Structure 1
Amino acid sequence: MQQILEKSHISSGELESILKAREEGKIDFLLVDVREDMEYNMGHIKGVDILKPTSTFQQWAQELFESTKDKYVIFTCRTGSRSGQVQQVFAQNGHNRTLNHIGGIMSYRGEVEK
């Protein structure tokens, strides 16, 4: 399970597995949705910890970066594009525990909430 978090990206199947493991207390990470409020309210992955819209990236990025330096952070969005950009910025600035959810919610087959 832990080896999944050692990569720079995660598939929907892997995300579903580690969300279940997190519920069981076997692994710890933060799942951040970077879509906009309207998209999030239409449906989001069950287990998302916080919503941080990319449109307000400049307002929240530094604080999230600083507060999660010692944590694994998985970014997700609709298709993996925006979350990939956010993950890349964090990685380029030295946060080596970030992952991009490849395919985003469009490829996710696990539980979704509205």
Structure 2
Amino acid sequence: MQELLEKDDINSEELELLLEARDEGKVDFLLVDVREEMEYNMGHIKGVDMLKPTTAFQQWAQELFDETKEKKVIFTCRTGSRSGQVQHVFQQHGHTGVLNHFGGIVTYHGEIEQ
């Protein structure tokens, strides 16, 4: 399971497996939703640790970057586009533990919370 966290991108099936493994204490990562609050409130992946809207990126990016330099972070959004952009910026600045949930919540078949 740890090998999935070494990739750049994961799909929805892999994210489901990782969330299950995290619940069992086998892996550790943060799942960060970068959609807007209105989108998040309409439904989000069960297991999301925090909401960090991309429209407020300038306000939260540096702090999250600094807090997670030694951690694995998976970014998710609606389709994987915004989360991929956030991942790219973090990687450009030297964060080696960021992954993009490719396909986003629209391809996710696991548990959704409202």
What is the TM-score with the length of structure 1 in the denominator? 1.00
Question: Following the alignment from structure 1 to structure 2, what is the Cα–Cα distance between the partners of residues 90 and 43?
Answer: 26
- The percent identity for this pair of structures is 73
Matched to 1:45, the amino acid is: I
Question: Which amino acid is 1:90 matched to?
Answer: F
The 3-state SS of whatever aligns with 2:27 is coil
The equivalences for 1:22-101 within 5 A come to: 22-101=22-101
Tell me how far apart the structure 1 counterparts of residues 6 and 17 of structure 2 sit (CA, whole Å). 15
Q: What is the root-mean-square deviation in Å for CA atoms of aligned residues? A: 0.3
Matched position secondary structure for 1:58: helix
Moved over 3 A (4+): none
Structure 1 stretches lacking a partner, 5+ long: none
Q: When the two structures are aligned, how many residues end up with a matched partner? A: 114
> Distance in 2 between the 1:109 and 1:99 partners?
19
Cα offsets for 1:49-99 (capped at 9, x unmatched): 000000000000000000000000000000000000000000110000000
Tell me how far apart the structure 2 counterparts of residues 9 and 86 of structure 1 sit (CA, whole Å).
Answer: 13
| Corresponding residue SS for 2:94 | coil
Alpha-carbon displacement from aligned partner over 1:16-39 (angstroms, at most 9, x marks no partner): 001000000000000000000000
* Gaps in structure 2 of 5+ consecutive residues: none
2:100 is aligned with 1:104? no
Partners of 1:18 and 1:78 lie apart in 2 by: 19
TM-score by length of 2: 1.00
SS across alignment from 2:32: strand
Question: How far is 1:102 from its partner?
Answer: 0.3
2: CA distance, partners of 1:78 / 1:12:
12
Find the residue that maps to 1:100 and give its secondary structure: strand
| Cα deviation, residue 41, structure 1 | 0.1
Deviation at 1:111, TM superposition (A): 0.3
